[in-house]
Amino acid sequence: MGMTMTQKILAAHAHLASVEAGQLIEADLDLVLGNDITSPVAIKEMEKMNKKGVFDKDKIALVPDHFVPNKDIKSAEHCKCVREFARKNQITNYFEVGEMGIEHALLPEKGLTVAGDVIIGADSHTCTYGALGAFSTGVGSTDMAAGMATGKAWFKVPAAIRIVLTGKPSRWVSGKDVILHIIGMIGVDGALYKSLEFTGDGISHLTMDDRFTIANMAIEAGAKNGIFPVDDAAKTYMKEHSNRSYTVYEADADAVYDEEYTVDLSSLKSTVAFPHLPENTHTIDEVGDIAIDQVVIGSCTNGRLEDLRTAAEVLKGRHVAKGMRCIIIPATQKIYMDAMEEGLLKIFIEAGAVVSTPTCGPCLGGYMGILAEGERCVSTTNRNFVGRMGHVSSEIYLASPAVAAASAVTGKISGPEAL
């Protein structure tokens, strides 16, 4: 029986000739990730273990990004805990304020994630690195602690769903629209503990930023991971960002998939997920007249340079609607710097938006954009659960940077075509 990409990676890291769906394995880890919310819990669990120190100081990444720069005393104490642990264990990849960024944008940028890796992170959107052909998945803080101590983790080998992407997306249709369409099609539990494996000629028309966005939100369909084949675009990205060697795995021709879906990218329209689930999707022409109070452009899903360029293209020469709050958050310091050098920040500020230092901030209701009772926000983030960004009666509409920027201008949910 053939294996999928994910199964091949897991078999190699478990030192097995083959694995099959449902099998329990122990696999070697190439990277263990934690942030300022999840790492303190893992650190406290590690303190209970007899083993002293970490398995490899070069294979752990600690990225304070959720409440950083610190929003209050509690978040400052969390970061202090992480900082002291990193110093004590001489963690190579600890990123302090001024170096940090949103973790899932920062690690590929720093070259810490490459094809063929097995990566766990105590954050559900760790599945982002599947864009590079890695097996990466979110785990709990206890699993993170075990991973930091031993360099290994237990997995149940996931079954797979094959998503065949064909055609070329039209103007303004991005990776965010693709993944929202897929989640709307299969539901938030449609890929529960399965691998979403993307293939097809349409992938060649998706940029790496598109692929990071799609892999990032695989978890919103319930998937264990999302993964793309390693093509020339992925190889070029890794060559530009990393000096690590990588391994390319390809699915066998007779690999077993529980389901298969075909998505014609040329037929997709800008897509918006209504409250309160990412599966509650509507195309932009089905939205109707919905007034909004705030727009957020950023996050581990859509805070990359390509996203900011798209937002700037929409906002240039225009102004956000009177009374509208438009918050733009570059995902890393490098993206911030590049956006500044390209003149994007000037466009944003002249349009009446504010630009924040890199942070997860409003995505999880942390700070930098909390919603009050009854307020509505169009956001390029990844979740729109009840109370996710503030008051339980507030509403979050998930959309692409193009739709978010256009909505900021009109004061209601709009596509750029409406401008």
Q: How confident is the model over 75-119, as pLDDT tens digits?
A: 999 999 999 999 999 999 999 999 999 999 999 999 999 999 999
Average pLDDT over the chain, rounded to an integer: 96
Please determine whether the domains at 5-263 and 272-418 fall in the same fold group of CATH. Answer: yes
Q: Which CATH number fits domain 272-418: 3.30.499.10, 3.40.50.720, 3.30.70.270, 3.30.70.100?
A: 3.30.499.10
By 3-state DSSP, what share of the chain in percent is helix, strand and coil, each rounded to 5? 35, 20, 45
pLDDT for 243: 94
pLDDT for 232: 96
pLDDT for 418: 86
Asked whether the predicted pLDDT for residue 124 surpasses 80, the reply is: yes
Asked whether the predicted pLDDT for residue 328 surpasses 90, the reply is: yes
Asked whether the predicted pLDDT for residue 236 surpasses 90, the reply is: yes
Note the Cα 6 to chain centre separation in Å: 18
225-227 and 194-199 as β-strands: parallel, antiparallel, unpaired? parallel
Architecture of domain 5-263: 2-Layer Sandwich (3.30)
What residues does each domain of the chain span?
A: 5-263, 272-418
